[in-house]
Amino acid sequence: MIYNEIKSILPQFIFKGVYRSAEELHSGNVNTTYHLVYDDHGVRRDYTLQRINTYAFKDPIGVMQNIARVTDHLRTAMIARGEDPERHVLDLVPTSSGQLVYQDGDNNYWRAYVFITDAIAYDTVDASSFYEVGRGFGSFQKLLIDFPADQLFVSIPNFHNTYKRFFQLMRAIDENRAGRAADVEEEIEFMFEHRRMMSSIVQLIDRGVLPLRVTHNDTKSNNVMIDRQSGRAICIIDLDTVMPGSVLYDYGDAIRFGASTAVEDEPDTSKIALDMDKARAFTRGFIEETNGFLTREELTRLPLGIKVITCELAMRFLTDYLDGDLYFKINSPQHNLIRTRAQIALLRDVERKEEDLQKIVDQLIG
């Protein structure tokens, strides 16, 4: 029962009112998330409680300090623009001892937020909401433009360093911990064929062609809350991987996830393609918000982000499959392999549509 998993944690946070119910939310692949409902003298209070995955995040306190700094900055920036930050910026609930995170006796780290009510996070998103998602991530970037990047702790080193991730795959093949390497020769071959392409953003950053900015680094459509009433993007969530990075990854990851015709772990790869209407809708929203400050070098290369990030994720899933599923949560022994194959199928379609994607971007940036 869910209550038993969390009952000793609940009193550690300053939740208002009396506990009523909890359900687990299953959309994340890394952390474990619960939606809590409290009753505060007849007023309903909703909260999010999360157990941070410490295999992925080695320093949860550093992660939480980043989130506190970033949300403070967003709040101040919104107030300065005359906007109301309530429901628009993640609101951390402190622990009873005033900390950002609670460490339990089993070395688990927990954190809590005010749950954003009357809003929805889409796992599959239609074109008009995806336009909003584009605006949301674009404006997030805009609000953080003057955030001092050197104050950010690097929550996962080399997170989008696809060049290094390739060598992690090599290591996993070599170690073959789960005895699965012989079953995935085709997928390994695919990664070798894409080796140069996948390192191209890292190289452009190294050469100074692309700048580092404060980026979100996990721009799935379900990390943007859309207001149920207005249909507008209101709040960017999941700030765990806010770090210095390239905007190409944020753009690319959003398209990879939101413009696919199938879910990220679709077993039937014949159903997987890139939906160009959705890609166009997101790109329009994103460019509307960012056209004033992204460089020409960044804007024109946005489509490269889709290829690189799709390949990177295929490789991360494959690496985890070879390691015996240590990183991503799985719901079947083949889950990481299914995810790998789905990403490869998507990348093949992105490659087919590359020129059209470039046209969309070129038209919108004018």
Out of 91, 238, 253, 275, the only residue in the binding site for Mg ion (CB under 5 A) is 238
Out of 12, 32, 71, 241, the only residue in the binding site for ligand GN1 (CB under 6 A) is 241
Give the whole-angstrom CA distance, residue 31 versus residue 29.
7
| Residue 289: half-sphere exposure toward Cβ, Cα within 13 Å | 22
* Contact of residue 294 among ligand GN1, Mg ion, none (CB under 5-8 Å per partner type): none
* Contact of residue 264 among Mg ion, ligand GN1, none (CB under 5-8 Å per partner type): ligand GN1
Binding to ligand GN1 (CB under 6 A): which residues in 21-60?
28-30, 56
Tokens of 251: 């753009």
Q: Is 214 left (phi over 0), alpha (psi -120 to 50) or beta?
A: beta
Count of residues near Mg ion by CB under 5 A: 2
Binding mask 190-229 for Mg ion (x = CB under 5 A): ----------------------------x-----------
Instruction: Name the residue nearer to ligand GN1 (CB basis): 250 or 264.
Output: 264
Name the DSSP class of 324: T
Does 325 contact ligand GN1 by CB under 6 A? no
Instruction: Name the residue nearer to ligand GN1 (CB basis): 45 or 278.
Output: 278
Q: Using alpha carbons only, how large is the chain's radius of gyration in Å? A: 20
Q: Where are the alpha helices (DSSP H) in 7-161?
A: 60-80, 127-143
Binding to ligand GN1 (CB under 6 A): which residues in 169-228?
218
Instruction: Name the residue nearer to Mg ion (CB basis): 50 or 340.
Output: 50
Sign of the alpha-carbon torsion through 145, 230, 86, 89:
negative
Dihedral angle computed from the Cα positions of residues 238, 244, 247 and 248, in that order, rounded to the nearest 10 degrees: -100
Count of residues near ligand GN1 by CB under 6 A: 10
- Specify burial of residue 19 (Cβ count, 10 A radius: 0-12, 13-18, 19+): middle
Give the whole-angstrom CA distance, residue 222 versus residue 279.
16
175 and 320 Cβ atoms separated by less than 8 Å:
no
Instruction: Name the residue nearer to Mg ion (CB basis): 30 or 311.
Output: 30
* Contact of residue 235 among Mg ion, ligand GN1, none (CB under 5-8 Å per partner type): none
CB of 292 to ligand GN1, least distance (A): 28
Q: Where are the alpha helices (DSSP H) in 301-353?
A: 302-323, 335-352
CB of 18 to ligand GN1, least distance (A): 30
Out of 264, 266, 289, 323, the only residue in the binding site for ligand GN1 (CB under 6 A) is 264
Q: What one-character-per-residue DSSP string does 206-227 give?
A: HTTSS--EEE-S---GGGEEEE
CB of 179 to Mg ion, least distance (A): 30
Out of 255, 313, 315, 360, the only residue in the binding site for ligand GN1 (CB under 6 A) is 313
Binding to ligand GN1 (CB under 6 A): which residues in 342-361?
none
* Contact of residue 29 among ligand GN1, Mg ion, none (CB under 5-8 Å per partner type): ligand GN1
CB of 131 to ligand GN1, least distance (A): 21
* Nearest by Cα to 92 from 104, 74, 118, 119: 74
Instruction: List contacts with ligand GN1 (CB under 6 A).
Output: 28-30, 56, 218, 238, 240-241, 264, 313
Instruction: List contacts with Mg ion (CB under 5 A).
Output: 218, 238
